[in-house]
Every structure is written in structure tokens, then in C-alpha cells.
Amino acid sequence: MQRGLDGWGSGLLGVVIFSGSLPATRVAVGGFSPVFLTSARAVIAALLGATLLLALRQRRPAKGDVGALGMVALGVVVGFPLLTALALQHISAARSIMLVGLLPLATALFGVVRGGERPKAAFWLFSVLGAAAVAGFALANGAAGTLTGDLLMAAAILACGLGYAEGARLSRRLGGWQVISWALVLSLPAMAALALATLPGGFADVGRPAWIGLAYVSVFSMLVGFVFWYRGLARGGIAAVGQLQLLQPFFGLALAALLLGEPVAWSMVAVTGLVVLCVAGAKRFA
């Protein structure tokens, strides 16, 4: 019981941290290209992760773990950040945040495929209902978007769901912060080369908001958030704790409204209440 509560608490803290990712990315792409932003955030986080691994004298992963760490890197270090940065050139932060409401369903599906979890039938009912409520809210409120942006977000969600499930599976043996740190270190050579290749011609025109956005996604979205998130998934269950992501759009929308001045519909409160009920139902039957 205590293990499960600890998992849900850690997972919720991770969701709160991740909620600032898309608004911060939206701000950062105003000063940096999507490719440079993706690679730069990975390099900064990798250097921080490597420092932690060395300072705390962590053992290297087994050879059999390298492939799984590669999947984590492709999903959450490269795939999701790059695809969302590209998507945000076509859709608003508010729309992208709401579409992330489909991520818990993707995480649960990969939790079954990769993590061997078997939630009850009622769990899937609440999971699908919650995802439908969030996606329906995004479409009904007409948050600015295009087909290209929506397809990029769909690809980002699939990549992230796989990275979450694979990372949670590894975290049961290696530890949450160790998994994301090793995944970042594994991707460092390629990301450093990409960052150098896409380095802006000059930084004089890059405003302070873009730098703040880069700092947030590098430190919090790419490293600190995963410390709590992978711990939560490993201790509370991938499918179950993954449903907390249904709340992420509403935390993110609040930030988008406060920081970016983007409009948020009053109906968000009603949908949030429905989503909370879906999360509670999914938790009960996971």
C-alpha cells in the first residue's frame, strides 16, 4: 500500500514538472530552431546526468540494457522533444497540451506490450473515457491547429509512450534517475554533433524568454521530472500511474494562460472534474 501511494505521489510531482514543458518549448522555439532546441536540451541534461552518475559512482548498465536505454533515448530524449517542437510551429501550445491527454492511453498500451502489465477491463474503460474527454475538449474548443501539427503530436505521443514504458521497466532494476541519466549519456555524442551542426549564427537576437524556456526544458523537463516520473511508474505501475498524465493538460493550460496569454475556455473546469474521476476509476481497477 505504501509503495503504491509513494508511486502516485512521485508520479504526480513528475506530471506537475512536465506540465511546463510545452509552454516552455513554445517560448523557446521563438528564439531557437526545433532541431537545435532538441539537441541542446539533451546535451545540457546529459552533462548534468553524467555528473550525477560520476559523483555518486553508479555502475554501468549491463550490455543487455543498452538496447532498452536506446529505446528510452529515442522516445523521450529525441522523439518527443523534436516532434513537439516541430508541431508547435503549426499549432498552439494550448492545443498541443490538450492532445497530450492521449499520452496516458499510449503509455498504458506500451505498459502491456513492454512491461507485461494486465489491467482489468474497467481500467481501459476509464482510460479511454479520460483520453476521449481531453481530446474532445481540444477539438470542441477549436484551439488553433493544422493536420500537420496534429500528426506530429500523434507521432510524439507514441514515441513518448514507448519511452515511458521502457524506462519504467528498467527503473525497477536500475533506479529512475539512473535510467534517464544513462539514456541521456548514450545519446550525448549524436546530440552534441547535431547541436554543433545547427548552432545559430548568433545569439544576439535570442531573447530572455527563449533562454528561460531552454533552461526549463533542459533541467526540469529532460532530467528532474524523469527522476520522479520513472520512480512513480516503477513503484505504482506503468498503466495505473500513467493515468496521472490526464491531469497534465490542465496544469499546462493554466501555465499557457498565465505565461503566454493564451485563452482557456471556462469548460476546462468541467472537463477537469471528469478527468479526475477517470483517473480515480483507473487507479481503482489497474
> Which residues, 6 or more positions from 157, have their beta carbon under 8 angstroms from its beta carbon?
80, 99, 100, 102, 103, 106
3-state secondary structure 35-61: HHHHHHHHHHHHHHHHHHHHHCCCCCC
Q: What is the pLDDT, as a whole number, of residue 71?
A: 94
Chain-centroid distance of CA 52 in Å reads 21
Tens of each residue's pLDDT in the chain, 286 residues: 455 567 888 998 998 898 888 788 888 988 999 999 999 999 999 999 999 999 999 989 988 999 999 999 999 999 988 898 888 888 877 677 777 778 888 888 888 877 677 778 888 888 888 888 877 776 676 555 678 888 999 899 999 999 988 988 898 888 888 999 999 999 999 999 999 999 988 888 889 999 999 999 999 999 999 989 988 888 888 878 888 877 777 777 677 677 667 666 666 667 767 777 777 777 676 5
Which SS3 state, helix, strand or coil, does residue 92 take? coil
Closest CA to 32 of 148, 194, 198: 198
Amino acid at 160: C
Query: Alpha helix locations (H) across the chain?
Result: 2-18, 21-28, 34-55, 63-72, 80-87, 93-99, 103-115, 121-140, 147-174, 176-197, 208-216, 225-236, 238-242, 248-255, 268-285
Q: The whole model's pTM is what?
A: 0.83
Closest CA to 26 of 94, 75, 72, 78: 94
**239 close to 4: Cβ distance less than 8 angstroms:** no
Write b or e for each residue in 90-115: b if 16 or more Cβ atoms lie within 10 A of its Cβ, otherwise e.
Answer: bbbbbbbbbbbbbbbbbbbbbbeebb
The CA distance from 113 to 111, in Å, is: 6
The CA distance from 203 to 143, in Å, is: 32
Residue with cell 543498452: 66
Cβ count near 203 (within 10 Å) = 11
